[in-house]
Amino acid sequence: MPTTTTGDTGEPPRPTTESGLPLVAVATAADVADGLEDRLGSPGRFPYTRGVHPGMYTSRPWTMRQYAGFGSATESNARYHQLVAAGTGGLSVAFDLPTQMGMDSDDPLAAGEVGKVGVAVDSLEDMRLLFAGLPLDEVSTSMTINAPASVLLLLYQLVAEEQGVPGVRLRGTVQNDVLKEYIARGTYIFPPAPSLRLVADTFAYCREQLPAWNTISVSGYHMAEAGATPAQEVAFTLADGIAYLEAALAAGLSVTDVAPRLSFFFVARTTLLEEVAKFRAARRVWARIVRDRFGCDDPRSQMLRFHTQTAGVQLTAQQPEVNLVRVALQALGAVLGGTQSLHTNSYDEAIALPTEKAARLALRTQQVVAFETDVTKVVDPFAGSYAVEAMTDALDAEVERLLAAVDGMGGAVAAIEAGFQKSEIERSAYAVAQQIDAGERVVVGVNRFRTETEEPYEPLRPDPDLERAQVQRLADLRARRDGAAVGAALADLRRAAEGTDNVLVPMRAALRELATVGEVCSVLRDVWGRYEPSERF
């Protein structure tokens, strides 16, 4: 926990939260009592501070997801079957870097990255292998993909239809949050304006074709991993959410068309109390945004529903088993804060791809919290806690201050183009690094409580021949598909991108003809251009 000094007064340093806000070590009723009842409300009712459902986990637990994907589609499929057998209720797909960047595995820029940080998916054939034998009408699938999100979602829909599962029965989430890529992660392809058009086209397509699908997961997780404070994480994420709703309205959709299928994605750190307060404040601020800024009284539109992942950046390669403790605490914070779904990181992820045993232990962590503790028997267990309520109020105010700063620059997109959010996050990340180096912030096993030797660990390593095999698969695909049909379908996609028609319709036709992810994205790159980041701040 960071501290603030008091100069040369001789007084001990005063503790602050991760967001740099005063931490009230001994809170009293007077600190939070004024208007507390109005701010709290009831679970399942505006402003949703206490949760989006009246009963929360007393009726059923959150969706337990495990983020997985590596190497080939066949290897990842085997891991998904293992996770389903272990009791997970939701799959979460990690794609490799070339796929995230809209490149095929045989692209020269993909060399050395195929299958390394996720699964390589180049075509409909890979997606078939990835989900072979999995009950797509029973599991909920989340796909962490952004710039080419629409492409991968359509491939998933096509595979489901081949299995006899119509779009109306598919449940899951596609991240589809390209704005945070410009801020914190970097896997962008197109400039912001056409990227927002593609997001809005996905909203409209899914309203008709996949009505139960969450069409975007507005992500603060990656901002937090890049160094954002809890307040920055929430504020910049909600600012992006505002931009997406505005883009939907500009495309002729209504708030009630989009907001009920919009979800959010946050991190859970080891600072458990502030994380609980963060989730509660985020719900409250978003409810006000939808009601007051967009004039929408629809309860389903006002609810901030979110997925949580434990903090990968807080995992250490030193004494990796200690990460099991960190992840358990982070998971508990997410649950106490009212998450709708949760992924728990594996203890070995700071070293390499998770082994099967480590992935199973991560899932077991969630199951222990859900079935062996009593936290699921109470709705919003920290409601009325003086410390948590004071922290919730402080975070609420700081989030509003940061939102006002983004608004003052012209909104999220204008602030991104000016480099504002990126610069603010980098300053916060540098401050944390300084605190760790100075020993002011303790990291067990890194700057305190170190051991001289580490126990041997055998990491999971991708098959070194994977890239060659994947490139050969692509060559075989191109040799036997109907090249003329692919060319005609891609030409239809180009015309839609140049005009105003929804691009997902011709995109789906091209993918059905076995056009590749890279070919589809190349057409859009040719029409819309590439994004070049700003260095103004």
| Residue ranges per structural domain of the chain | 29-438, 466-528
Q: Which pLDDT score, from 0 to 100, does residue 364 have?
A: 96
* Domain range 29-438, CATH architecture: Alpha-Beta Barrel (3.20)
Q: Which pLDDT score, from 0 to 100, does residue 90 have?
A: 81
Using alpha carbons, list the distances in angstroms from residue 34 to 38, 50, 398.
9, 18, 19
Buried b (16+ CB within 10 A) or exposed e, 55-76: ebbeeebbbbbbbbbbbbbebb
DSSP of 210-237: -TTEE-EEEE-HHHHHHT--HHHHHHHH
Cβ atoms of 308 and 263 closer than 8 Å: no
Closest CA to 246 of 237, 255, 233: 255
Q: Which pLDDT score, from 0 to 100, does residue 316 have?
A: 97
Q: Which pLDDT score, from 0 to 100, does residue 158 have?
A: 98
Burial class (CB in 10 A: 0-12, 13-18, 19+), 188: buried
pLDDT, tens digit, for every residue of 157-172?
Answer: 999 999 999 999 999 9
Torsion angles phi and psi, residue 42, rounded to 5: -115, 150
Residues of the chain where predicted confidence (pLDDT) is lower than 50 = 5-7, 537
pTM of the shown model? 0.89
Average pLDDT, the chain: 92
Tokens found for residue 58: 């007393």
Cβ atoms of 169 and 212 closer than 8 Å: yes
What is residue 360's three-state secondary structure?
Answer: helix
The C-alpha atoms of residue 417 and residue 438 are separated, in whole angstroms, by: 34
Q: What are the residues whose beta carbons fall under 8 Å from the beta carbon of 496, sequence distance 6 or more?
A: 502, 503, 505, 506, 507
The C-alpha atoms of residue 404 and residue 97 are separated, in whole angstroms, by: 35
